[in-house]
Structure 1
Amino acid sequence: MEARNLYTPFELLQGNMSDWDPRPQVYYFFEIIQIQEGSGFRTVNKNRFPYRKGSIFLFTPRDCRGFEEETSTRFVSVRFSEMFVGHSHTPQEKERIGAWLRQLEYLFFYHNRQEQLLIRQDNDCKMITALIGNMVEEYEQKHPYYQENLQHYVTLLLNIVARNVAADINITGEEDCALLINQIMLYIRQHIYEREMLKQEVLSSKFNLSQNYIGEFFKKQTGESLQQFIINYKLNLVQLRVSYSDLTIGEIADELGFTDESHLSRLFKKYYGVTPSAYRKEGRKNELQKNIH
């Protein structure tokens, strides 16, 4: 399968979907796409969803995505790395931005994979359209401080999308098994940094399932245990941190609740065959070679 990389911290594209390679490809960067005109279908990691005018999609690094155009489609694509939105000038600002990014991770890892993302408020739709229009102008004109302005625009855009996602979270006792599993997964992703919130007794109370049954239910529906799901998700976040942030391996281990750097390195190597440090080194070597060629 083909892959695409981003060689600058930020990139903005406007175009027709007919110019997009229709084959699904893996993209190694974050991306927000707004459909300006047209309709069709998008695919992400083998899931297929319709799109129409005004649709907004969020993609994360390593997502496999593609589009099937039905009617003539125009779009705006905002592409960026985690380092672009996480850039800071002081330790205090770095800590604040880091906390904000952690709060938004569930947004990228949940939507739009399980369901269509809907911006329900008319004012939010208008704000998003205005923000993207301002981003296009800043990117094309490149006036002084345009990069700082773009960073702020991306932050605002993500905040608006996040509050619409939060408004959709409504757990009830009447949900079927598939929806309940999706909600359990979402809850775990939202609280991945809070070890106490992920204990089996807390999860069973939250979702009205007995402690003896919730593990069996989760494994029956997903094919993996609760603990395995949590570990896999944490290691997925480690991959992103190692590839797209300047955090040390020790800082990543502490952030995600591993005992220490050695514990994280052993577990990472068990699953991926290399240590986080070697993974980071190899990734940067490959990026350098691609830039040279």
Structure 2
Amino acid sequence: MSKLPGMTMPDQIQNGGIFVLLQVMEQKVLDRPFELYVADMDCWEQRPLVYHFFEIVQILEGSGYREVNNNHFPYQKGSIFLFTPLDCRGFDIRTPTRFCSVRFSEVFLGQCRTAGEKERTAQWLRQLENIFFHHNRFRELKIQNPEDCRMITGWIQNITEEYLRKPPLYEENLKHLITLVLNILSRNVSEQGIKDHAKDEPLINRILLYIHENIGFPEKLRIGHLARRFNLSPNYVGEYFRKFTGESLQRYVTQYKIRLVEQRLANSPLTIGQIAGELGFTDESHLNRQFRKYNGLSPSAYRKSAGGSR
């Protein structure tokens, strides 16, 4: 994958609109809070990867299928995808493909100057996460409004130009531009009716949504409880979960918890003990051990490095 400074962006969305795939295994972690790449691919030789960051992908040239959890969704020139942390992503390329990838973490969006701004950002991130994780993540969302399509395309072009030129205050501008894109995407998710598809959700999707909704209640995430809840054999729950996500149930739950801890450390005034209680850790010491295991540093050190509230 290479960054190409001489890239050009399409003037308009082609073939009827923007497609956004909101989906849920090799891990890939973002080295910096924000990155932008343009890449050319004739084939995708890697296995699908789990990415621990948000990613907006715009297809500049080519066609094929975007692979997510063994599901395949078509893409073409002009398609735009949004992926959230812990989503598993890959390509099935049919014609040579060129794409622009905008990658960022919650830490990037949560870089605030005042306590009031930090609290508003934290609330916005929670609302955004709730919208995206409650959307049917195994189907495509087509943004029908041509004006929304034009706005998103224009903002991605602005993001690219700001990132490549790096003028004064460019990081602040990038954050605002990305927020605008996410607001339009979340509006379209909400307008299609999050609850309308609840009965038609694939089983794995319903399990994932249940995990997200009950992440602070460990007793509800035990194998026996999930087996009863979703009418599965206790011996099959783990196998089924790994089949569709590529990782163990326990690892997924832990990683999701740690990501929520990171978000709260960076964007909220909650103490580490309060975060531990909210997310179902036994106590602050338990949270510290788990966090250090996955991040290599303590929650307090992470909060300091992210500029979070003490």
Q: Do both share a fold (TM > 0.5)?
A: yes
Query: 2:133 is paired with a residue of what secondary structure?
Result: helix
1:278 to 289, 294, 297: 289
Task: Look up the match of 1:228.
Answer: none
The one-letter amino acid of 1:75's match is F
Matched, 1:240 2:259: yes
Task: Look up the match of 1:135.
Answer: 159
C-alpha distance after superposition, 1:157-178 (max 9, x if no partner)? 1001000111111656xx7943
The one-letter amino acid of 1:280's match is F
Task: Look up the match of 1:209.
Answer: none
Q: In the aligned structure 2, how far is the partner of 1:140 from the partner of 1:78? A: 12
Query: 1:13 is paired with a residue of what secondary structure?
Result: strand
C-alpha distance after superposition, 1:254-292 (max 9, x if no partner)? 6x4x6xxxxx22299xxxxx9321222233328xxxxxx
Matched, 1:162 2:186: yes
Query: 1:87 is paired with a residue of what secondary structure?
Result: coil
Structure 1, 152-161 or 162-171: larger mean CA deviation? 162-171
Paired residues for 1:14-163 under 5 Å: 14-18=38-42, 21-110=45-134, 113-163=137-187
Question: Between the two proteins, what is the percent identity of the paired residues?
Answer: 43
When residues 72 and 19 of structure 1 are mapped into structure 2, their CA distance, relative to the original with a 3 A threshold, is closer
2:44 touches 2:93 (CA, 8 Å); kept in 1? Answer: no
In the TM superposition, what is the alpha-carbon distance from 1:251 to its structure 2 partner? 3.8
Count of aligned pairs: 247
Paired residues for 1:143-222 under 5 Å: 143-169=167-193, 171=195, 177-179=199-201, 219-220=230-231
1:105 touches 1:190 (CA, 8 Å); kept in 2? Answer: no
Query: TM-score, structure 1 length as denominator?
Result: 0.69
The answer for unaligned runs of 5 or more in structure 1 is 196-214, 225-230, 259-263, 269-273, 287-293
C-alpha distance after superposition, 1:208-241 (max 9, x if no partner)? xxxxxxx9996238988xxxxxx99986642212
Structure having the higher helix fraction is 1
Structure 1, 52-61 or 133-142: larger mean CA deviation? 52-61
Q: CA RMSD in A?
A: 3.8
When residues 218 and 166 of structure 1 are mapped into structure 2, their CA distance, relative to the original with a 3 A threshold, is farther
1:243 touches 1:283 (CA, 8 Å); kept in 2? Answer: no
Q: In the aligned structure 2, how far is the partner of 1:157 from the partner of 1:100? A: 14
Task: Look up the match of 1:250.
Answer: 273
Task: Look up the match of 2:17.
Answer: none
Structure 1, 43-52 or 232-241: larger mean CA deviation? 232-241
Q: In the aligned structure 1, how far is the partner of 2:283 from the partner of 2:129? A: 22
